[in-house]
Structure 1
């Protein structure tokens, strides 16, 4: 009889699909608020940037966090000091790779999404932290 730990991990594709659905919902939400998409899932040294967007003249690095339940803290609470440092490093690498944006004012936003991943409740934390806070 096979034990649970012996069976292959089938949750990874579901988790990836759920994350994609939540990111798409966050993207649409931000676009309805006037932001324009520059890059999605931009890989850079130090990590991945979920969304890179323009808000007027500003470049916005958006971290999308999803929690089905806020029982153990919402998604925004999971953006701790270590995660903020990784996001700042990834943003710096993105700016080095895209020098045309190097002089743009930048900010870091967090989308805290919860509930149904197909239609999540979204809380937008604009200017959630600063690069010098990380």
Structure 2
């Protein structure tokens, strides 16, 4: 295989992964909306990095990190400690901008999407 073929293969895998991630985010957004959550933000960038989805239901703010892989287990295993810390920093940044600030009820969920598109939501996963 030539170097050009290797680059094209890598690029194609990257594109597939990117589109799989977008599809996973969309599935998770629909899942939360069906359960009565209002979508506030997609891919919001805060002090610690990006938060995939932010929802509100009543006064509660819910931050959702979406992880997609062939299995739910592999998806969950891809969320490392540094990323968890960055999510918490960004969530605090977002909450700090709201009228009630850190008194706003909030949680951080992790939504896992497997290769079949099945969604598993782990509520309050990082608190």
| TM-score, normalised relative to structure 1 | 0.81
Question: Secondary structure of the equivalent of 1:128?
Answer: coil
Taking only aligned residues, the RMSD between alpha carbons, in angstroms, comes to 2.0
Instruction: Supply the distance in 1 between the matched residues of 2:7 and 2:59 (Cα, whole angstroms).
Output: 52
1:38 to 1:89, Cα distance in 2 relative to 1, 3 A: same
Q: Say which structure is richer in helix.
A: 2
Q: Which residue of structure 2 lines up, in the alignment, with residue 80 of structure 1? A: 80
Deviation of 1:49 (Å):
0.3
**Structure 1 match to 2:114:** 114
Distance 1:109 1:101, change over 3 A: farther
Gaps of 5+ in 2: none
Hey, what does 1:43 align to over in structure 2?
45
Match of 1:20 in 2: 22
Structure 1 unaligned segments of length 5 or more: list them. Answer: none
Preserved CA contact (<8 Å) 1:59 1:101 = no
Q: Report how many residues are paired.
A: 124
**3-state DSSP of counterpart to 2:99:** helix
Give, in whole Å, the separation in 2 of the partners of 1:122 and 1:25.
7
Q: 2:62 maps to what in 1?
A: 60
TM-score for the superposition, normalised by structure 2? 0.84
Q: Does 1:126 align with 2:88?
A: no
